[in-house]
Amino acid sequence: MTGEPLIDIRDLTFSYPDGTRALSGLTVSIHAGQRVGLVGPNGAGKSTLLLHLGGMLSGTGSIRVAGSPMDRSHLRAIRAAVGLVFQNPDDQLFCPTVAEDLAFGPRNMKLDEHEVRHRVTAALAAVGLADRGGKSPFHLSFGERKRAAIATVLTMRPQAIVLDEPTSNLDPRGRREIIALLERLGGTQVVATHDLELVRQLCGRVLVLSGGRLVADGPPGEVLADESFLLAHGLA
């Protein structure tokens, strides 16, 4: 692929304060428009990597998003460019109504109220919750909350959406709805997941993390076909 990557990670290494090495020497670049699956066993470092993309954690090495280095002066712009959707929707939703939660990001971006409302309506429709804007997030089903959480970053119109286990704990229909939603949304997406079927269905590229290292990077058709490789990294 040509041109500058949207997300460029070089030699990223990170240890938690208690000494746990979660990422070691990771180098990956992701171009605009790619939908990338991020897989790996529990504790592989997927969530840790996603937190780095949102500038929530910072390890050694370099991360550039849309050409800007991840530093204090670019953090605001990068957080607007990378829409981070956390695994637990309850972490993301805290406002009295779903609509207000969707307005939270754009208001932080200092958009005018008219534009904010326009985006909220559009995002609610995009995730199939058009009639739920006035409800309390506490009264939504888990699947609806998962979709509402995705909508909270859609209103920011990010350049990339980064999702942590979007289909975990969902029933088969809820899962299908999320997959259809991601497919419909398009754009640049990074999806950390244990759902290999989702990766096969949606992603043109898959990254396999294991013990904080990148152990495979390629089309799912090839990477996920190797049974012994999957077994070796706890994926089968």
Partner 1 sequence: MHVPARSLSQDDSLVHRLDARAKLAALLGLVIICVSTPPGRWGAFVFYAVFLLAVAALSRVSPHHLLKRLLAVLPFVVLVAVFLPFMPGQPRVAVGPLSLSRGGLAMFATISTKGLIAVGAVVLLSATTPAAELLAGLARLRVPAIFVMLLAVTWRYLWLLADEARRMKRAAVARGFTGRWLWHARTVGRMIGALFLRSHQRGERVYLAMAARGFDGRAVGVPPARLRGGDLLFAAGSLALLIACRAVLP
| Residue ranges in contact with partner 1 by CB under 8 A | 51, 54, 56, 76, 79-80, 82, 84, 86, 88, 90-96, 104-105, 108-109, 138, 152-153, 156
Q: Are 12 and 25 in contact (CB under 8 A)?
A: yes
The interface mask with ligand ATP, positions 29-48, x = CB under 6 A, is -----------x-xxxxxxx
- Specify the residue for token string 């904080």: 212
Count of positions on this chain that bind ligand ATP (CB under 6 A): 12
CB atoms closer than 10 angstroms to residue 42: 7
Nearer to ligand ATP, 20 or 60 (CB): 20
Residue in the shown chain whose Cβ atom is closest to Mg ion: 47
Closest distance between Mg ion and the C-beta of residue 215, in Å?
17
If binding is defined by CB under 6 A, does position 106 make contact with ligand ATP?
Answer: no
Of 39 and 50, which CB lies nearer to partner 1 in the complex structure? 50
Q: How far is the CB of 110 from partner 1 (least distance, A)?
A: 9
* Residue 69 site contact among partner 1, ligand ATP, Mg ion, none (CB < 5 to 8 Å, cut-off depends on kind): none
Does residue 47 interact with Mg ion by CB under 5 A?
yes
Task: Kindly state the tokens that stand for 19.
Answer: 């000494």
Query: Interface with ligand ATP by CB under 6 A: which residues?
Result: 16, 18, 20, 22, 40, 42-48
Query: Interface with Mg ion by CB under 5 A: which residues?
Result: 47
